[in-house]
Structure formats: structure tokens, C-alpha cells
Amino acid sequence: MAEGAQQRKLVSSGSAFERQIGYSRAVVVGEWVFVSGCTGYDYKTGAISDDVAEQAEQTMRNIDAALAAAGASMADVVRARYILPDRRDFEKTWPVLQKWFGDVRPACTMIQAGLYEEAMKIEIEVTAKKGAVPTEGMML
């Protein structure tokens, strides 16, 4: 390996889509963890709720599992992107996001965009840095 190069560790959820499409659930490079967009499907049952808040909760559980497999945790998340087909649904997810990220407070962006399947009401991707401990910051 070249001097200064870091190994990439690929984390799989076991989904057939990962190999078919050519992506990983998460990629670890050094202390950084990049989690692909996750949706509200329960990967064990294949079920997805019709409720956007319930989808957000399942999505966060899916992200938590990916981070754990990568040797990180939700407390390490420094960036999140929320993608919703209907921006009016975003506020309905706030209690879930507060529950998972209230103390972590990563930098975030909400984007309105179509998702792969009509049943999907939210997709979330995150970036984490292992050992990144949240502390109070500065005011602008």
C-alpha cells in the first residue's frame, strides 16, 4: 500500500442490491464511516410502514446497525442528509430525529426528491467520524 494510503473496509447489509447495483451499506476509511442512504424497510421482514415517522424510526435503526458493523455509533455522526419526496412530511419526522440526534446535533440538509419506490417516504444517509465526541460549539 502506498505511503499515507488508508484501507477501505466495505460493510454489507446482505442485500442483493448491493452487488447488483455496485454499492456498500457503509464504507470505512480510517476513522471515517460513510453510510449509504437507508430507508424505512425492516431488513429482516421486508416490511415498510405507510407512516413517515415510523419509516424514519426504522431508517435510524438501519443506520445504527450499519454504524455498529463499521465500529462506530450514532454519537459519531457528523453529517446527515434527509431526502423526502414530500417536504411537508419532514416536520412529522422531527421527534424521531430529535430522539436519535438531539445530543449529537450533526450538520444536516433536507432535500426533496423522488425516491426509488413509491412506498419510501424518507431516505437518510450519514457520515460519521469514530471518536467524534459532541461538545457545545460557538454561536455565529
Is 114 inside a domain boundary?
yes
The structural domain count of the chain equals 1
Is 140 inside a domain boundary?
no
Is 58 inside a domain boundary?
yes
Is 70 inside a domain boundary?
yes
- Per-residue pLDDT band for 34 (boundaries 50, 70, 90) equals very high
- Per-residue pLDDT band for 13 (boundaries 50, 70, 90) equals confident
Q: Give the tens place of pLDDT for each residue, 46-99.
A: 899 999 999 999 999 999 999 999 999 999 999 999 999 999 999 999 999 999
- Return d(Cα 10, Cα 124) in angstroms, integer: 19
- Region 109-130: mean pLDDT is 97
Entry pTM: 0.90
Is 2 inside a domain boundary?
no
Q: Which three cell numbers, joined as nine digits, stand for 139?
A: 454561536
Is 136 inside a domain boundary?
no
Is 137 inside a domain boundary?
no
Give residue 117's domain range: 8-129
pLDDT of 16 reads 77
- Return d(Cα 101, Cα 8) in angstroms, integer: 26
**Which among 63, 60, 74 is positioned nearest to 104, based on CA atoms?**
74
pLDDT of 33 reads 98
Residue 37: which CATH number? 3.30.1330.40
Is 135 inside a domain boundary?
no
Quick one: how far is CA 30 from the chain centroid?
18
- Per-residue pLDDT band for 2 (boundaries 50, 70, 90) equals low
